[in-house]
Amino acid sequence: MCGIVGYTGKEHAESILLGCLKKLEYRGYDSAGISVTNDSIHTYKKAGEICELEKIIPENLNSKTGIGHTRWATHGIPDTDNAHPHNSGNISVVHNGIIENYQTLKEELSAQSYIFISETDSEAIAHLMHRNLYGSPGSKTPVTNPLEALCTTVQELEGSYGLAILCECEPDTIFAARMDSPIVVGLGEGENFAASDVTAIIDQTKRVVYLEDGEIAVIRPDEVNFFDKNAKIVHKNETIIEWDAEAAEKAGYDHFMLKEIHEQTTSIQNAFAGRISEIEGSVKFENLKLTRKDIQNISRIQIIACGTSWNAGLMSKYLFEQLAGIHTDVDIASEFRYGYPVLCGDTLTVAITQSGETADTLAAVRGAKSYGCRTLAITNVVGSTITREVNETIYTRSGPEIGVAATKTFTGQLIALYLLALHSGRMRGNIGHEDMKNILISLKKIPGQVQRILNNRDKVHRCASMFSDTDSYFFIGRYLNYPVALEAALKLKEISYIYAEGYAAGELKHGPLALIKEGTPVVAIATGGHTYSKMLNNIKEIKARGATVIAIADEDDQEIQKYADIIIPVPKTHELLSPVLSTIILQLLAYYTALERGCSIDKPRNLAKSVTVE
C-alpha cells in the first residue's frame, strides 16, 4: 500500500506520473513504478527511490495514458518483482489495500496456468482481471468489455482495495475502483487524473470527485463516467479543493499526527484483515511457521522493546498469560542487553519495533539468539533489518507514519499481539471456540467504534483546553489499563512537554499520592472489568486529596458519575479490547493539549522517529 496515480490526456504521461508520484514521497515508500500505453503496455519499476525509476524510463515514450505507484510493502519484500504495477498479459494494475482471499485466488488462478512472479496479493488482481476480460492466459481477444470484467473482478475480491487499471484494448482509458481504500478522480480540460491522495494531483487540478466504496470510475481524456459494482451508472458531485499542496499532504488535517489518529479506523482493520475467522474461531498469520506443537512447547515468552513498543509489550504480557497460559517477561531492550537473562531453547523472544531498525532492540535480539531462542518480530516495515534477524515476523500493516509520536503503529502493534496471544491460546487449548468467537466478533467492531470516538472528539478537545496550562498530569489504570496509562503519559510528555506519569492505580498509596494537590488533573482509565471496583476506590483516594478526576469510562456507566469530575465515554466492548479504544481518546487528549500550547506536534523537540543509534 501507499500511493496511486493515473493520467490520461494530451501530455507525456510518464512525466506527469513521475511528477505526481514525487508529491507522494512524504508518505514513505520502498519502490516505485509506472505503466504507460503506446501501442502496447510498457511497465517500468524499481526498488528504491523515484530518481532510480527515472533512470530506466526511456526518453520520448510519447504515451498519453498511464498509471503509477509508490509501494510500502505489506506482502513480499521490497524488491523490483514485488513493486507495482503488476501485469497479466495486456493488463496492468496498481493496488492499495489488502486482499484477504488472495491465497485462495492464487491457488485457483495458478491451477488455470496463470504464473505468479511476485509475493504480493496485488498480482492476483491482475491475473483475475485478465481472466475475466480475456478468458484464459495468453488470449488477446476479449470475451467481454473491461467495465464488465472489472465488475466481476471486484465482486470476487475480499478485503480492501484502491485500484487503477490499464487495458490494452482501451489504451486511452483508466479503470479505477475503491473499497475501503481511497481513490479520487481529478477533472481537467482534455485530461483527467486518478490518485489515492489528492496531494498527488493538486498541482494539476482543483476539481475532484471522490469514489465511495463499491464504486468504479472509467476515466478517458474527455470524459469520466461512474458506476456501481454492477455496472449501473452513478451520478457524482464535483468538489473544489481549496487546500494548498502542503495542506493536501495532511489531507486537510492540521498535523500528520491528527491525520494518523484518524487513519486508525483503517489501519486497525488492516492489522486483522484476512487473519481472523470468527466463524471458525481461529487466527491465521500469513507465513508464520510456528506449528501447534511449537507453540505448545513454549515455556516462556521474553518481550524486548523500547518506548511506545515497550508499552505494547507490557500489554501483551497480560494477554499471553491470561489467554495462552505462558509466563511472559517484558524488558526494555537497552536494559536487557546488559543484564544476565535466563533464556533457553523453549523461550520465544518477541521483539517489537515500529521501524524494524531500533538499535537497542536489534542488539537485544542478537543477544537472545545466542541463547538458542526462537525469535519473532512485530514490526511495520517489510524488509527492515529486524526481519532478517529473526525466525518469524508479523507485520502490523499500519502504513507509513510521519508524525514522530506513534499513534496508528501503536494500535497496530496491539492488534498483532492480541492475535498472537489468541492464536497461542487456541493452539494450547486455553481458549474455547465460543470464547474465541466472541472476542473476534468484538474485534471486528473496533474500527467502527474508533470512528464513533473520533466523531465525538470535541469533548476531548474541551477537556484538553481546561488543563493545557497545568505543570503536571497523572494517568492511572489497573491490569490491561496500566500499560495504557503509561502510553498516555508518554504521548503527553512527547508532544506537549508537560511532566506526566502513568501509574498502576494500586501503587498510588506507595508514594505518588504525595504529589497530588488541589486541582491536579488525574486521568483514571476505568472501563468495566474485574478491576473496576478497585479503580473506583482509587478515584475516591485521589478525590480526597483534591485532584480533578477525568475518567475514561464505558458509555453506559452510571456509577462513576458520582466520583469523577469529567467523564469521557468509550464505546462498550469486550474487556480485553477496551484498551484499544481508550488509547484513541488519550492520543486525542495529548494532541489537543499540545495544540493549545502551540507545540511542534509532528516534530517534537529532541526526538526522532526511528532511533537507530544506541
Task: Give the start-end residues of each E strand in 49-203.
Answer: 65-71, 86-88, 91-96, 161-167, 174-179, 184-187, 192-195
List Cβ neighbours of 501 (8 Å cut-off, separation of 6 or more): 472, 473, 474, 475, 489, 512
Taking the C-alpha atoms of residue 127 and residue 451, their distance in angstroms, rounded to an integer, is: 35
Q: State the Cα–Cα distance between residues 546 and 523, nearest whole angstrom.
A: 14
- Bridge partners (DSSP) of residue 349 are 302, 375
State the CB neighbour count (10 A cutoff) for residue 27: 21
Q: Which residues are catalytic?
A: 2, 609
Q: Are 257 and 495 in contact (CB under 8 A)?
A: yes
Concatenate the DSSP letters of all residues of 32-63 into one string. EEEEEEESEEEEEEEES-HHHHHHHSPS----
Give first-to-last CA distance, the chain, whole Å: 31
Contact 313, 330 (CB under 8 A): yes
* Cell output for 181: 481504500
3-state secondary structure of 539: helix
Cα separation, 67 vs 166, whole angstroms: 7
Find out whether 436 and 426 touch, Cβ atoms under 8 Å.
yes
Phi–psi pair at 7, nearest 5 degrees: -145, 140
Task: Report the amino acid identity of residue 487.
Answer: E
Q: What are phi and psi of 286, to 5 degrees?
A: -70, 135
Phi then psi for residue 328, to 5 deg, are: -135, 130
Q: Rounded to an integer, what distance in angstroms lies between the CA atom of residue 75 and that of residue 119?
A: 6
